[in-house]
Amino acid sequence: MKKPFQSLSVKVTLVFFVTAVAYLYGLTVGIRYLIGADELRETIGYYQTSYYDYMLEDIQYPPNTGKAEEVVGQMPFDMKIVGKDLAWTSSPQFIITDAINFELSTLNVAKIKADIAEGKAPSREGVEAARYKNRTYAKIPYGDYTIFLVTPKMSVAVQRTYIVEAIIAITLLILLICYALVQRIFRPIKLIEEGANQIGQGHLEYRIDVKQKDELGSLAQKINQLAVNVQEMLAAKQRLNLGVSHELRSPLTRARLEVELLEDSKIKEDLLNEINAMETIIANLLDSEAINYGHKKLKLELFELSEMIGQMIQKSGFLSKSNIAFIPLDRAAQVEADKTLFEVMIKNILENAIRYNPAEGEPIQIRVEQMEHTYEIKIRDFGPGLSKEDLTKVTEPFYRPGQSRSRQSGGFGLGLYLCKQIVEAHQGTISIENHEETGAVVAVTIPKRQNQMDNA
């Protein structure tokens, strides 16, 4: 399974997200810079302090509470006036506490400069502001009095603004939508990856179902066409093998008849051995290609696996004389398979193991193990084992490992290839590995019933 950051969709989505965050950050910095710039700040401050001047002129000096009440009635704020002989508020709820942390406002700098330039005393240079419980407060010195303003009015219920939460939620929503869109865009890549894996594993009938008309759709079509071409080449190879094998049987039969007419001699024996070897190659080749090409139907029957292996070893003169230790299951092991092909497969693997097992060494081990839906047959020899290259190629046709290049020791390179075709025809698997101590282990896994794999 891929890690999250190995996913192309996640990477592209993160690129979009980081780009958006960088853009928002730059925009925020730019806005703050503009707000903090002297020119804009002075402009805003000029109008604010001018407004305070007009408001104070309406209130008069000393403050007229009637005028103040008229101002409050027209504006969206409450007012409180505090002085040595006056304590008035437009709302009894408007209370100034120590918890309100007033700080000197810098927005009145323009008005102060303008007043100084005109030779006047600085106006509203002492205006302070504060933010408390989602309300904005202003503190304005006015001679011997102090005027407090609050907005919105105390009679208006203040609701908390979930700006930060809203921004986070919107960001996550946008990120989720981007991820879904990216997933949709890159969905064909997953289909192409799956198709390439299937075709690479030998399932050449698999086709990638991508309906897009873009570059990814074109790539999928080319991979599908590649699979078709490989299928056609393999089919041509199989037809050639079958044809050549059939054509070779007739001259071999005539050659055998001619040799049988010779007088008994070493030459006759050598010729018959060569003819037998050729007939064995052709028989194995025909059987393997017939299974692989689908021309040979399995004759399925139920039989006892351990019993079949034991009887086969006893009845075979070559195997019965070999050093083989058979460890059967301690219970009945009924399997549904083609018994004849199954015997050929087990016999080929045993003969291959005998070929490389030391004559005076440990006996070849053949063990049957039972899983929930399958049986596993393990055959181990105590020979030199196989190289890494041999392990990957030993089931290929006509391939012989490095230690066995002579026909006397290495066979014809078709035995394990035929075994692989028989096992796969039974919906099973075959694996060949070196034992951790010495020798090689061939493991064949086959379902107990042929319909179990289809229903799994």
pLDDT digits (tens, 9 = 90+) for 254-281: 777 777 777 777 777 777 777 776 666 6
Helix/strand/coil for 120: coil
pTM over 0.75? The answer is: no
**Distance from the first to the final alpha carbon of the chain:** 22
Q: What is the pLDDT of residue 26?
A: 78
Q: What is the pLDDT of residue 164?
A: 73
Cα 437 to the center of its chain, rounded Å: 36
* Residues of the chain where predicted confidence (pLDDT) is lower than 50: 1, 109-110, 404-410, 454-456
Does residue 124 come out as left (phi exceeding 0), alpha (psi in the -120 to 50 range) or beta? Answer: left
Tokens of 217: 């759709």
- Domains in the chain (CATH in brackets) are 57-158 (no CATH), 210-296 (1.10.287.130), 297-455 (3.30.565.10)
Q: What is the pLDDT of residue 340?
A: 81
403: DSSP letter: G
Q: What is the pLDDT of residue 377?
A: 92
Which residues lie closer than 8 Å to 9 by C-beta, 6 or more apart?
179, 182, 183, 186
Q: What is the pLDDT of residue 124?
A: 52
Tokens of 160: 């908390």
Q: Are 164 and 104 in contact (CB under 8 A)?
A: no
Distance (Å, whole) CA 63 – CA 285: 115
**Beta bridge pairs of residue 443:** 378, 431
